[in-house]
A = this chain, B = another copy of it.
């Protein structure tokens, strides 16, 4: 009975997959925040090195992974795909459940897949320092790890609610040599203006992005690095799905349901896009589901329209499912999912009906995650508790319907730095939040009207 489906190191992907040429409709343009006209590569040059800008607008189906990046990937890749035998026993139904586990990376999540690539291209371009935002700290620690390997300085703006909840993520970031600030901070114009309006704000990814972008835009030696949302970031993550495709083939399985959690969309995209390719090619026909928190329900409750990627309005406008750029989600533990928008490519697939979406409450996801941890041994991060819970619910539905389904989900990271959340759950004090409809409606009124 095989539990862990391992790929040999020789099967480490040689290329990232770019979904753009396979989309049923062309992706909408990215618009300048001031002029609302399409931006070109040069407009992005203050923030990103040219290699990454070209990847952002690439229409090549496959992009070669540099050997220097693959060399670092080999520290933890290929990652295992597990058959969840113990979880299946617990549910006692006909479904077969598999999970891809990205928690084996040094930073403990999928985030290093793009952090390493971004640090490599920036170092190659002679950049000295990267600035970035982080929610729960997964991205900030991944980028500080990658910067340590490629000799770059790194400055991280960490969303205040996570900064306060997760002091050890901060310690991890500092151990790898980066500096960390609580966001909003007094260090930027954006931060100061937010603090003036609401000194007690828990912060948000949108605010932290504004701060990090401002630092990069105003310092010549510093570029900006984003952990999700953008096309090139999602593309770097496709090593997850490419490996999973091969691993399922090794055990002769065809997936019926594929599930990933989604905040900005990078782990969901990295896991699912190679399967979307196969689905669009007609070789398989699975349900592909993004699971988001009820506290930040962009795909299930947001509007598909142009909006800023950050709170202050410094970034270009992108067409995506949005809750309004200044919507601040409640301080759930899944800090990596506390984002007002969704990656444009994921949004487009949802709009076209190629993928579906679901929103879950915090306590529901942790209840399942604890069951999962006791069955499978791995304690999921708060973000992938959403994927765990959705997969378990799917397996229970399959049991009731008597259907022999193959369910595959992405366990994008471990919860070692999120034990305060489990402590609250086990102690009975984990909070849920009211549905944020009114605050969404109010934030949507402040989104600029842009045609298209």
Contacts and interface: CB of A to CB of B under 8 A. Distances in A.
Given A168-B168, A175-B373, A175-B379, A75 B4 contact: yes
A176 interface: yes
A423 B2 CA distance: 40
Interface string A360-375: 0000000000100111
Nearest to A7: B6
Contacts of A416: 108, 168, 172, 416-417
11 contacts: A3-B71, A3-B74, A75-B82, A104-B104, A148-B373, A148-B377, A171-B423, A172-B416, A175-B373, A176-B374, A416-B416
Contacts of A65: none
A8 B9 contact: no
Interface string A368-394: 001001111111000000000000000
Contact of A377 (B106, B379, B426): B106
Contacts of A6: 6, 8-9
A419 to B, nearest CB: 4
Given A4-B74, A75-B82, A174-B426, A377 B149 contact: yes
6 smallest A-B Cβ distances: which pairs?
A106-B377, A168-B419, A416-B416, A171-B419, A171-B423, A148-B374
Contacts of A171: 419-420, 422-423, 426
Contacts of A417: 416, 419
Interface in A321-359: none
A40 interface: no
A423 B172 CA distance: 8
Contacts of A24: none
B167 A423 contact: yes
Nearest to A377: B106
B175 A419 contact: yes
A71 B377 CA distance: 13
A106 B80 CA distance: 13
A94 interface: no
A176 B376 CA distance: 10
A180 to B, nearest CB: 11
A303 interface: no
Contact of A176 (B4, B72, B373): B373
A420 to B, nearest CB: 7
Contacts of A3: 71, 74-75
Contacts of A104: 104
Interface string A419-441: 11011001000000000000000
Nearest to A416: B416
Contacts of A172: 379, 416, 419, 422
Interface string A155-176: 0000000000001101110111
Interface in A163-201: 167-168, 170-172, 174-177
A249 interface: no
A345 B262 CA distance: 52
A1 interface: yes
A266 B172 CA distance: 27
A86 interface: yes
A306 interface: no
A75 B81 CA distance: 10
A71 to B, nearest CB: 7
A9 B2 contact: yes
Given A4-B9, A175-B419, 11 more contacts: A3-B71, A3-B75, A4-B74, A6-B6, A75-B82, A106-B378, A171-B426, A172-B422, A174-B422, A175-B374, A417-B419
Interface string A105-122: 011100000000000000
